[in-house]
Amino acid sequence: MPVLKIALLQISPCGTLTDNLEKGIKYCEAAKAMDADIALFPEMWSNGYNIYDRSVNDWISEAIPINGDFVNTFSRLSKKLNMAIGITLLEQYKNAPRNTCVLFDRFGRQKLVYSKVHTCDFGAERNLTAGTDFYVTDLDTAGGNVKVGIMICYDREFPESARILMLKGAELILVPNACPMEINRLSQLRARAYENMLAIATCNYPSSVPDCNGRSSVFDGVAYLPELTSSRDTCIMQADETEGIFIAGLDLDQLRKYRKSEVHGNAYRHPKRYKLLTDTKIQKPFIRSDYRK
């Protein structure tokens, strides 16, 4: 299988839904010109994750339907470009909107709709509806099929997110993001890729966007190769802070071969010993007073 080319659209929003749509189309077309197989947007592209320091009613009014013109445009575009697209939005949903990513394959088919499970309930995201599960799909790309899951920004902080996606068969996790990608958060991504033997591609906003700093990244999860005497750096792409399209080539054959022989992921787990992780009746230490089950 040829190398899977992932385009991270590290771009700044324009201020309106229409302008974001037009810019998104432009950058997807540019990614295709760079031979990308998958293009990924940063978190909540439809309104540029513009939810802080604003009236709740103002930004909730910017929520859009999952089957509306904005999302459907990227369905048609993915088919036209023969390129998978992960488009992000503030989604209209029942009583409160969701922070959502929709993944289309290269034929324009909707393959996955994921809404952020770990909403940032300590801030403005407390007004969102949290997602309820993690999903994996078999994504048809021009570079071949790959099993893909999604987690969004704060989901990264919880090892369970990537672990569940690994257990459901994910080879690649796409991560739309909107926050400073400093050493600790980058280390989380590196760890999630290493411990689950999968690739993680994160797309952030550039430093021109408040509280963001670019540094989109791809970790391929392959720590050891037989021809090397020590471990290797699993980071195969690290963007700078500027606006642009950043391409990473993921060697899926190498990853799949590695997963068959190495000791991480699901190889030697002891799930019967982990019951405490899901027992909500036992009071855990270090829980904030505003903790919500």
User: What are the tens digits of pLDDT across the range 42-81?
Assistant: 999 999 999 999 999 999 999 999 999 999 999 999 999 9
| Cβ pair 104, 85 in contact under 8 A | yes
State whether residue 222 is helix, strand or coil.
coil
Rounded CA-CA distance 116/275 in Å is 24
**Summary count for the chain: helices (H), strands (E):** 6, 12
Cα separation, 177 vs 152, whole angstroms: 6
Q: What are phi and psi of 138, to 5 degrees?
A: -90, 105
- Write the CA distances from 137 to 70, 148, 165, 173, integer angstroms: 22, 5, 10, 11
pTM of the model: 0.96
Are the CB atoms for 12 and 208 separated by under 8 Å? yes
Compute the distance between CA of residue 179 and CA of residue 70 in angstroms, rounded to an integer.
Answer: 24
Q: Which residue has the tokens 């990924």?
A: 40
Model pLDDT for residues 139-191, shown as the tens digit of each residue: 999 888 999 999 999 999 999 999 999 999 999 999 999 999 999 999 999 99
Which residues face 9 on adjacent strands? 245
